[in-house]
Amino acid sequence: MHKRSSITAGLLLILFGLFFLAMQMFPTLAEQLNIARQWPLLIIGLGGLFMLSAVLGAPPLAIPGSIIGGIGGLLYYQNATGNWGSWAYAWTLIIGFAGVGLVIFGLLERHERPAIKAGAGLIAMSLFLFAVFALFFTGFAQAGLLWPIAIMLLGVWLLLRGRRRGKGG
C-alpha cells in the first residue's frame, strides 16, 4: 500500500509541476483559465487526489477526500455566485460529505455494511439539516407548503423507526 501511495503522490506532483510550468511558459493560458476566479478548483483537485489514493489502495482516504472535495464544490459555487451568506446553512452539507466518504470506503473495502449504513444516515441527516437551516435563513415563506410536509414526514419516520426498534429489542 505504501508503494502505491508513493507512486500516486509522485505522479500527482509531476502533473502539478507540469501544470504550473505551462502557466509560466504560456501566460495567455493563465489568463484564459483565470486562476484568481477558479481557485476552488485547487481544493476540489486536492479532494480528488485523496479519492484517487482511496481507489488505488487506501480506502480510508475516501472520507477526507469527499469532505475536502465537497467543501471545494461549495466554495466554487459561492465564489461563482457571490452567495457567501449561504455558509449560514451550507456547512450542514459537510456532515453529508463525510457520509459519502463512509459509503465509498464501505464499497471499496467490501463487506463493510456498517460503514455504508452509517454513511447513508449521515447523508440523510445532512440533507435534513440543510433543508431546515436553508428554510430558516432564506425564509419559510419561500417554501410554501413544503416545510410543514417535511416536518410531518420526519414525524412519521420517527414513529416507524421507534416501532421497528420496539419489535427487535
What is the tens place of the pLDDT at every residue in 9-18? 777 778 778 8
Q: What percentage of the chain exceeds 90 in pLDDT? A: 29
**Burial annotation 106-128 (CB, 10 A radius, 16+ → b, else e):** bebeeebeebbebbeebbeebeb
Measuring CA to CA, how many Å separate 34 from each of 19, 27, 38, 53? Answer: 14, 11, 6, 28
In this prediction, residue 169 carries a pLDDT of 47
Residue 143 pLDDT > 70, yes or no? no
Comparing 169 with 60, the larger pLDDT belongs to 60
Give the C-alpha separation, 9 to 164, whole Å: 47
pTM of the model: 0.71
Question: Residue ranges of the domains in the chain?
Answer: 2-138, 145-169
Per-residue cell: 93? 452539507
Label residue 30 by pLDDT band (50, 70, 90): confident
